[in-house]
Structure 1
Amino acid sequence: MRARDLGVIVGRHPTGPNNAITDVDDVRVGHVTLHGEGPPDVHTGVTVVIPHAGIWSEPVFAGAHRLNGSGEMTGLEWIRESGELTTAIGLTNTHSVGVVRDALVDAQVEARGEGVYWSLPVVGETYDGLLNDINGHHVRAEHVHEALRVASGGPVEEGNVGGGTGMICHEFKGGIGTASRVTDVATGSYTVGVLVQANHGRRERLRVNGVAVGERIGPDRVPLPGAPARYEPGSGSIIVIVGTDAPLLPHQCTRLAQRAALAVANLGGTGEQYSGDLMLAFATGNRGIPPYAWDEDANVQRPEIALRMVAPQLMTRLFDLTIEATEEAILNAMVAATTLRGRNGMTAHALDHDLLQQALADTRIGENR
């Protein structure tokens, strides 16, 4: 079940065929989901996003943004310095970042072979310790390799899957969500796809298309998770991955990552004190960027690489696509998620579909009057 299955449409631009990040050509997504009834209760996993099949030896341009930094995404310093993403992207829980990173290093060595090069994989995290035995380190290297193996294009599973298995969003059950937008240009079309791991936000601030849904679906209608004492509401995090086939340069990718933060705000996220809200955007439109520019025929270094760039006047439209797709991806994460009972009896309840539709319908009736 997705937002559009409930008649909830975000924005005005058309989606790609799968309304997913995989609508960007050659992008693939893979999940491994881990469940185990406790004690200890295990509800976690790993998700990978592969920008294109040759990413291990053919970088793409990328840029990043931080809304609030109570979180981690490895590899960002090199992206900020070079503007290049050189690996697949991993998403998991906070205490499994290291093992996922190491497994991605192994995957790059396997793909490229031994050599004098280094690997700085990108791995983002959000905290699932309310529902999952996070200190048990249940995500292992073989799970990362399996996620890479099963990664595919087409429809993307959402909700309680992969890295999003144990996540909570706006105090409803959260997780993985995705969406896409397409725009026509004189030379064809550009696609922007987004995937989120949503584990952020407070119930009372949740807005859907400007409607105060969180206020209308209060704790009296759908119980709050019941977090431990001194756990500040809104603590958690969101990771947003934006991909596009538009030929963007690194600074343009950074601008797209910044706009994804506006979508988080549109739905009511404020970048709370203990929320790690991190955004990464990559662009596959400039392919053929080698890790080392070498002219094989002349056996000399190549002094230049030909590139393309989206015209500045088209960036506003790409901003719109990014914001719309990010909003819908977050909403899809909640709509697709199912109620989960985790450690110490903690329960994250799903966003009730009927109540969501009712909240939006009541607003429309009021407007018609």
Structure 2
Amino acid sequence: MNPLVNRPRARDLGVVVGALPTGAHNAITDVPGVLVGHTTIEDDADLHTGVTAIVPGQLGPDRWTLPAAVYTGNGYGKLVGSTQVSELGVLESPIVLTGTLSVFRAADALLTYLMDRRPDVLSLNPLVGETNDGHLSDIRRRPITERHVLDAVTGASAQQPAEGCVGAGTGTTALGYKAGVGTSSRTVPAADRQVTIGALTQSNFGGVLTALGVPLPVEELIPDADRTAPPGNSCMIVVATDAPLDARQLGRLARRAIFAMGRVGASYSNGSGDYAIAFSTAGPDQPPIPDAQLDPVFAAVLDSVEEALLNSIFTATTTRGVGGRVSHALPYEAAVRRLAAASRLTDSVLQPAKSDG
């Protein structure tokens, strides 16, 4: 069980996605050098929001950019800095996620962080995404401050990240249930090396929750649940890897991250801004893996994103928000019974890959 939440992750209950092994934490932080930090704003009434920062530790004086790509599944959203990433194929900042109307303040705060680190540079490109947590949080108050962003970035760590109702996932809902932040990872052989792929999601989108091919509709598992949840409102997916890949190849990974949303029942609605960001931490002296040898990496992206999305829901807790609206946690006992009846559960959870450290 995730020690940072009081609800189990999907895998803790035998909901195991695919046959590939995970990293030590089964998290995006299994990719060496990748850190995650959260700042949470929670007043048990009108504010349920926050900041999540994904910080590649490789960005520093020896190397100020990493290969990266952005894929837009549906562009109903705000991803500040994305066009430059797409144009140049490089990431030059941590990735910050927050609520919709706070994205601009978060971008300004991240710019402060970048300018402090690089006083000799004239222009910098902060990358900040969002989902709309306005169903549970008063987004018009725009409560995110510079301090919230800087605390998430500078406090990021390589430990197993908290999931569920934390950081940018504090006020989100997905597939009819309370959702939040989720993460997962896989390790696979690719070309002549073992590589790690990690995913982190900010889940806030519509559809019917599906786990391992089994529909878990909220109206059946919670017949008296609040039905006012919005049909869309977006998903942000971040994929990190230490596989040596160029920006074009990372775009292929980002597309598959969006495809993975379909596995958990996403409706890809008109109002859902669905974005994936993929970056590589591999050294610049390593040649890219040939395209013909990328199939294991693609499989790892699909499985890790799918499991991260499930974790974002399994670990989230029931939340009452602005206007008295309620988003109910998945009743995982009922979900497990349905999955067991469909013979989808595994009795033996796959062991994580051994850490080199």
Kindly provide the amino acid, as one letter, of the partner of residue 209 in structure 2.
L
Corresponding residue pairs, total: 336
218-227 or 309-318, which deviates more? 218-227
1:111 and 2:90 aligned: no
Is structure 2 residue 51 aligned with structure 1 residue 54?
no
Once the two structures are TM-superposed, the CA of residue 188 in structure 1 deviates from its matched residue by 3.0
Distance (whole Å) between structure 2 residues aligned to residue 308 and residue 178 of structure 1: 28
The one-letter code of the counterpart of 1:91 is L
Residues in 2 aligned to 1:108 and 1:148: alpha-carbon distance in whole angstroms:
11
CA RMSD of aligned residues (A): 1.6
Tell me the residue number matched to 2:348: none
Structure label with greater radius of gyration: 1
Contact 2:67 2:280 in 1 (8 A): yes
1:33-69 Cα offsets, whole Å, 9 max, x none, are 011144xx11110000002253585210001111111
Question: Residue 206 in 1 paired to residue 209 in 2?
Answer: yes
Instruction: Give the conservation status (yes or no) of the 8 Å contact 1:176–1:333.
Output: yes
Residues 286 and 308, structure 1, Cα contact 8 Å, conserved in 2: no
- Return the match for 1:36 from 21, 29, 43: 43
Give, in whole Å, the separation in 1 of the partners of 2:261 and 2:26.
18
Alignment map for 1:228-267 (pairs within 5 Å) = 233-267=230-264
1:318-329 matches, cutoff 5 A = 318-329=297-308
Mapped partners of 2:331, 2:170: distance in 1: 18
Match of 1:74 in 2: 80
Change (3 A) 1:220 1:200: same
Match of 1:330 among 303, 309, 318: 309
TM-score (norm 2): 0.90
Check whether the contact 1:93–1:125 (CA below 8 A) recurs between aligned residues. Answer: yes
Q: Deviations over 1:296-330 (max 9, x none)?
A: xxxxxxxxxx5510121221111100000000000
Q: Which residue of the other structure, out of 301, 314, 321, is the alignment partner of 1:342?
A: 321
Tell whether the 8 Å contact from 2:99 to 2:139 is kept in structure 1 after alignment: yes
Give 1:316's aligned amino acid.
D
Gaps of 5+ in 1: 288-305
- Equivalent runs, 1:110-259 vs 2, <5 Å: 110-112=116-118, 114-185=119-190, 187-202=192-207, 205-214=208-217, 217-219=218-220, 221=222, 223-227=224-228, 233-259=230-256
Q: Equivalent residue of 2:25, what SS?
A: coil
Q: Distance in 2 between matches of 1:222 and 1:52?
A: 46
What's 1:93 paired with? 99
SS in 2 for 1:236: coil
TM-score, normalised relative to structure 1: 0.88
**Residues 272-291 of structure 1 mapped to structure 2, 5 A cutoff:** 272-287=269-284
Residue 148 of structure 1 deviates from its aligned partner by 1.3
User: Which ranges in structure 2 are unaligned for 5 or more consecutive residues?
Assistant: 1-7, 345-357
In 2: Cα distance, 1:328 partner to 1:220 partner: 20
Native 8 Å contact 2:99 2:130 kept in 1? yes
Post-superposition shift, 1:109?
1.2
Check conservation: 1:92, 1:162, Cα contact below 8 A. yes
How much has 1:24 moved relative to structure 2?
0.3
**What residue in structure 2 maps to residue 16 of structure 1?**
23
Counterpart of 2:318 in structure 1: which amino acid? T
Amino acid at match of 2:215: A
Report the secondary structure of 1:330's partner residue: helix
CA change 1:286–1:222 in 2 (3 A) is farther
Cα distance in 2, alignment partners of residues 223 and 19 from structure 1: 34
Q: Whole-Å Cα distance in 2 between the matches of residues 307 and 252 of structure 1?
A: 14
Q: 1:96 is paired with a residue of what secondary structure?
A: helix
- Any conservation in 2 of the 1:14–1:182 contact (CA below 8 Å)? yes
